[in-house]
Structure 1
Amino acid sequence: MPHRSPPRRSDYRAFQPLQTRWADNDIYGHVNNAAYYTYFDTAVNAFLIAGGLLDIHAGSTIGLVVETGCAYFEAVAFPQTLAVGLKVAALGRTSVRYELALFREGQDTAAAAGHFVHVYVDRLSRRPVPLAEDLRRALEKLL
């Protein structure tokens, strides 16, 4: 595989603070790879909830993750304060591809970078629905 350089903070449009948890560390003394996906998911949903774009309990539309990926550059561990950088790489009719990066406090290069794709669906039928206009406008600012 070709070598990939870690992205920089300046590559991202929004940031969500995050604190590692004791349970995130694995037997090797660093955050387990699976925890990175929870960090990314938490950052996107916190952004959407804070913007009034997602009602996790009663909203008629929800985003389902249909694809994920992550590249790791440096280990992080508990206790560390992190920031998740967030941007939108592609915006479709019913979907969005988020690109995310995990930064240690005070660091300009990412410890990890990943992506995931949300397909927005009707909560009950689970059938794809077009992005709501307010959601689309907010996501366009992250392009």
Structure 2
Amino acid sequence: MNKPAPATRSAYPHFLPITTRWMDNDVYGHVNNVVYYSYFDTVVNEYLIRAGVLDFEHGATIGLVVETHCNYFAPLVFPERVEAGLRVVRLGTSSVRYEVGLFKEGEDHPAAQGHFVHVYVDRVTRRPVSLPADLRAALEPLSVAVQAE
């Protein structure tokens, strides 16, 4: 399996600073791998909430994660700031592929990069639905074309 080349900071149109916490480190002295997925979730949901398209308590449509992946290039540790870059590489009928780069503050190359896919479903039936127009409009500024791996 070939590891993809890391995308630089300029490949991401949106950033969120995240401060590492003492509890993020594991016994090996670096941020534990599962915490990276928490950072992914944080940058995506922060963007959706601020854009006014995620009402996690009452919204009729919710996104369910159906796929995740992460490549690690360098360790992150407490205490340091992480800058989570966000982009959208696929806007489907009912799904979105988000890609995230986790950068040490001010660095151009990510410590990790990965993706997750949300399938948007009806909150009650859990059946896929078309992306609402306001969600699609909020995600379009994050959409980028990427080269196939």
Common fold: TM-score over 0.5 = yes
**Share of identical aligned residues, percent?**
59
Q: Which structure 2 segments of 5+ residues have no match?
A: 144-149
Number of equivalences = 143
Q: TM-score, normalised by structure 1?
A: 0.97
Give the C-alpha shift of residue 106 in structure 1.
Answer: 1.1
- The answer for the alignment partner of 2:147 in structure 1 is none
Question: In the alignment, residue 78 of structure 1 is paired with which amino acid?
Answer: F
Listed one character per residue, the Cα deviations across residues 41-89 of structure 1 (whole Å, up to 9, x for unaligned) are 1110000000101011111111000000000000001111111100011
Alignment of 1:20 with 2:6, yes or no, is no
Question: In the alignment, residue 31 of structure 2 is paired with which amino acid?
Answer: V
Listed one character per residue, the Cα deviations across residues 66-116 of structure 1 (whole Å, up to 9, x for unaligned) are 000000000001111111100011110100000110011111110000000
Question: For 1:91 and 1:6, how far apart are their aligned partners in 2?
Answer: 22
Map 1:1-143; keep pairs closer than 5 Å: 1-143=1-143
Question: For 2:56 and 2:10, how far apart are their aligned partners in 1?
Answer: 30
Q: Which structure 1 segments of 5+ residues have no match?
A: none
Question: For 2:7 and 2:111, how far apart are their aligned partners in 1?
Answer: 9
Q: Secondary structure at the match of 1:42?
A: helix
Give the C-alpha shift of residue 21 in structure 1.
Answer: 1.2
Question: For 1:13 and 1:125, how far apart are their aligned partners in 2?
Answer: 34
Question: In the alignment, residue 134 of structure 1 is paired with which amino acid?
Answer: D
Q: TM-score, normalised by structure 2?
A: 0.93
Question: In the alignment, residue 107 of structure 1 is paired with which amino acid?
Answer: E
Question: For 2:123 and 2:4, how far apart are their aligned partners in 1?
Answer: 37
Listed one character per residue, the Cα deviations across residues 9-56 of structure 1 (whole Å, up to 9, x for unaligned) are 001111111111111100000000010000001110000000101011
Q: Secondary structure at the match of 2:107?
A: coil
